[in-house]
Amino acid sequence: MMQSRTHTCGELRLANAGENVTIVGWMENVREVGANFAFVVLRDFYGTTQVVVETEEMMKAIKGLNKETTISVTGTVRERESKNPKQATGEIEVVPTAIKVLGKCVHNSLPFEINKSKDADENVRLKYRYLDLRNPAVKQNIILRCQVVADIRRRMTEKGFLEITTPILTASSPEGARDYLVPARNHPGKFYALPQAPQQFKQLLMTSGFDKYFQIAPCFRDEDARADRTPGEFYQLDMEMAFATQEDVLSTLEEVLGPVFQNFGKYERVSPWPWRHIPFNEAMERYGSDKPDLRIDLEVQDITAEVQGCEFGPFQNATVKAVAVDNFAEGRKWIDKLLNDVEVQTGNKACWVKVDENGQLTGGVSKFLTDYTAVLTEKLNLKPGSFVCMAAGKKTAAQKTAGVIRTMMGRRIPGHFDENQYAMCWIVDFPMYEMGEESGELEFCHNPFSMPQGGMETLLAAEGDQEKLLAINANQYDLVVNGYESASGAVRNHDPEIMVKAFQMVGLGEEDVKAKFPAMYNAFTYGAPPHAGAAPGIDRIVMLLCGEESIREVITFPMNKNAQDIMMDAPTTVSQKQLDDVHILINESHLQ
């Protein structure tokens, strides 16, 4: 017996016929079919059970009750005349002898129908999330999340990792996104920051002599929302290993996450591990992305050399990329939509040609490419009925635009997208540095704590030479699943001398490193072990396992796209006394 019930609403079967039971739950539906006859569907966490009211007394007990009122039903289990094979309890029903109201729903109408809440407006769903979560389809995502986290914990523990929690109130650190700041009441004018990740703490644990660490870590970043990224906070499987190589980390995560996708995933197939390693530069060349969706069988090809001298303006002095498909049957309207969608997503224009039945280029920009038909046919393996979509510009822009073209064509043209699988790969050999799009200066590309490949020798050889610096690779790696970055990690830079030199390349001196990362820098001077780690995103992994397109579907109480919790009305204003306590003065002019 559990609390006031003898059974759950998903538990009773034909074998229970004749038993006197008590079940509790929410009145999902009431259908009156006579003066003293009604069918009531009672729902709890575990399922639904049909209750059949057959007496005047029991009809009075439910009369006037709104849907979603919680009730207790005591009665006798009997076999149903009209069975429901789609319902786990569909062979039985309960005939009540007592009905008690436990919690009345005072609202005559609901913001949405519970079992169809996913069709409601997202902001309405978030405002009434406690009702949205009553929908079994919505609740199942949260149940799956709990199961996945428990499985990951078990697997990590079995591999000898210790689960260690790290501080939430810490120092501001340049991690790449805006910090959430917390004013320190006892230290006027100073602030804590919520951690963007436990990066420094887990490296300090390695320096402290712990061999294998993990936690399901909350991370806080003040950044804009996307479908696959929630604003404000998220959770990751944070892990680190001492005296470890890149392969140690990758094989560990494969052995932990591979079975998770096999056992909990929506799709039938999972890439067998060890998963494929694709260098960053190769990924950009072949797929136009460092997050390639390998379910798509199309690849990007470089035709810059083949169209050199072409009089088409965008091709002149530009890198030109192409994606080609055979047996193309779509019309001009389809092509125009593709080009428009590519431009909306990338800000860059694409162009196209088709191959007619005689093997000649036609349509689009074909008039500029007539003299290049032979070389393009050979390069792209063109045939009558082929379609080619192209992007041109600076190398990186052309690559990324072609990557979007590849994804759109692969998903929209039948036969090129194998959806029923989890296609995994590791992207490796990321550049250590890049030119900042806004600053125009050398910046860290991925993670400033990564060890450059070749160590100090490589840095010294490239010092003062921007081209050589941009050619340095780091020991960094990302796990990509179905086109989503699902984990990121690196072999860490544990040598303070190499760390200082790496930061010098982006204009930060030794004193800057000591000031920004005092604990980690000082700890490394006491003998730090080589170490490596990664951080798979829990929210994103569960989203992929569920086959959801929005990450908010797998978070119990998510914020909306504007980083607002509209259920709790956060963020909100606070009293003047609260502001005074933490020495905060609001500049009213900035609130306009």
Asked whether residue 300 falls in the same domain as residue 253, the answer is no
Binning the chain into helix, strand and coil, the percentages to the nearest 5 are 35, 30, 40
In sequence order, which residues have a C-beta less than 8 Å from that of residue 398 and are 6 or more positions away? Answer: 318, 319, 320, 321, 391, 392
Cβ pair 333, 355 in contact under 8 A? no
Residue 553 above 80 pLDDT?
A: yes
Cβ pair 312, 349 in contact under 8 A? no
Q: How many CA atoms lie within 13 A of 430 on its CB side?
A: 24
What's the token pair of residue 192? 């804590």
Beta strands in 184-263 (DSSP E): 191-194, 212-221, 232-242
CA distances from 126 to 105, 111, 134, 538, 569 (A): 19, 11, 13, 21, 11
pLDDT band at 175 (very low <50, low <70, confident <90, very high): low
Instruction: Say which CATH number the domain at 575 has.
Output: 3.30.930.10
Q: How far apart are the first and last CA of the chain?
A: 59
pLDDT at 34: 82
CA dihedral over 568, 572, 574, 578, signed as positive or negative: positive
Asked whether residue 141 falls in the same domain as residue 258, the answer is yes
CA distance 477 to 427: 5
pLDDT tens digits, residue range 213-253?
A: 999 999 999 888 777 778 889 999 999 999 999 999 999 99
Residue 1 above 70 pLDDT?
A: no
In this structure, of 432-436, 437-441, 540-544, the range with the lowest mean pLDDT score is: 437-441
Report residue 329 CA to chain centroid gap.
34
- The secondary structure of 378-403, three-state, reads HHHCCCCCCEEEEEEECHHHHHHHHH
pLDDT at 2: 52
Asked if the structure places residue 483 within a domain, the reply is no
Report residue 409 CA to chain centroid gap.
23
CA distance 19 to 39: 20
pLDDT tens digits, residue range 114-124?
A: 999 999 999 99
Asked if the structure places residue 478 within a domain, the reply is no
Residue 176 above 90 pLDDT?
A: no
Asked if the structure places residue 155 within a domain, the reply is yes
Asked if the structure places residue 512 within a domain, the reply is yes
Q: What is the mean pLDDT of residues 151-165?
A: 98
Instruction: Say which CATH number the domain at 29 has.
Output: 2.40.50.140
What is the phi/psi pair of residue 282, to 5°? -65, -40
Question: Of 11, 45, 51, which is closest to residue 32 (Cα–Cα)?
Answer: 51
Residue that is written with structure tokens 């072609």 in the block: 402
Q: DSSP labels for 84-131?
A: -TTSTTTTEEEEEEEEEEEE----SS-SS-GGGGGGS-HHHHHHTHHH
Asked whether residue 155 falls in the same domain as residue 255, the answer is yes
What's the token pair of residue 104? 């009345």
Q: What is the mean pLDDT of residues 339-345?
A: 97
Which residue(s) pair with 120 in the sheet? none
What is the phi/psi pair of residue 201, to 5°? -65, -40
Report residue 264 CA to chain centroid gap.
16
By residue range, what is the domain housing residue 576?
137-263+535-580
Query: How many domains, in total, are found in the chain?
Result: 4
Residue 195: what residue type?
P
DSSP class of residue 513 equals H
Q: How many CA atoms lie within 13 A of 532 on its CB side?
A: 21
Asked whether residue 247 falls in the same domain as residue 146, the answer is yes
- The C-alpha R_g of the chain, in whole angstroms, comes to 30
pLDDT band at 174 (very low <50, low <70, confident <90, very high): low
Asked if the structure places residue 271 within a domain, the reply is no
CA distance 56 to 184: 64
- 3-state class of 582 per DSSP? coil
Q: What is the mean pLDDT of residues 171-188?
A: 86
Asked if the structure places residue 125 within a domain, the reply is no
pLDDT band at 521 (very low <50, low <70, confident <90, very high): very high
Q: What is the mean pLDDT of residues 383-388?
A: 97
Cβ pair 530, 244 in contact under 8 A? yes
Show which of 394, 417, 440 is a domain's final residue. 417
Residue 93 above 60 pLDDT?
A: yes
**Burial class (CB within 10 angstroms; exposed 0-12, middle 13-18, buried 19+) of 515:** exposed
Q: Classify each residue of 543-575 as buried b or exposed e, where b means 16 or more C-beta atoms within 10 Å of its C-beta.
A: bbbbebebbbbbbeebbbbebbbbbeeeeeeee
Question: Of 178, 245, 289, which is closest to residue 534 (Cα–Cα)?
Answer: 245
- 3-state class of 275 per DSSP? coil
Asked whether residue 147 falls in the same domain as residue 252, the answer is yes
Cβ pair 128, 113 in contact under 8 A? no
Asked whether residue 379 falls in the same domain as residue 436, the answer is no
CA distance 485 to 228: 10
pLDDT at 97: 96
In sequence order, which residues have a C-beta less than 8 Å from that of residue 140 and are 6 or more positions away? Answer: none
DSSP class of residue 179 equals P
Asked if the structure places residue 344 within a domain, the reply is yes
Question: Of 19, 17, 21, 20, which is closest to residue 8 (Cα–Cα)?
Answer: 21
Asked whether residue 413 falls in the same domain as residue 444, the answer is no
Residue 62 above 60 pLDDT?
A: yes
Asked whether residue 149 falls in the same domain as residue 231, the answer is yes
In sequence order, which residues have a C-beta less than 8 Å from that of residue 204 and are 6 or more positions away? Answer: 519, 520, 523
Asked whether residue 43 falls in the same domain as residue 58, the answer is yes
Question: Of 299, 347, 336, which is closest to residue 321 (Cα–Cα)?
Answer: 299
For the beta carbon of residue 153, count every other beta carbon within 10 angstroms.
Answer: 16
pLDDT band at 592 (very low <50, low <70, confident <90, very high): low
CA distance 560 to 563: 5
> Cα 242–245–251 angle (5° rounding)?
100
Residue that is written with structure tokens 């039971």 in the block: 21
Asked whether residue 30 falls in the same domain as residue 92, the answer is yes
Q: What is the mean pLDDT of residues 274-284?
A: 98
Residue that is written with structure tokens 């396992």 in the block: 545
What is the phi/psi pair of residue 545, to 5°? -60, -40
Show which of 45, 79, 103 is a domain's final residue. 103
Rounded percentage of the chain residues whose pLDDT exceeds 90: 90
Summary mean pLDDT of the chain = 94
Residue 440 above 90 pLDDT?
A: no
- 3-state class of 504 per DSSP? helix
Residue 291 above 70 pLDDT?
A: yes
Asked if the structure places residue 119 within a domain, the reply is no
What's the token pair of residue 369? 């490419």
CA distance 147 to 153: 10
pLDDT at 439: 81
Show which of 417, 447, 481 is a domain's final residue. 417
Cβ pair 164, 213 in contact under 8 A? yes
For the beta carbon of residue 183, count every other beta carbon within 10 angstroms.
Answer: 16
- 3-state class of 153 per DSSP? helix
Asked whether residue 549 falls in the same domain as residue 520, the answer is no
Asked whether residue 460 falls in the same domain as residue 374, the answer is no
Kind plus residue range of the DSSP H or E element containing 28: strand 20-34
Instruction: Say which CATH number the domain at 380 has.
Output: 3.30.1360.30
What's the token pair of residue 309? 């001298």
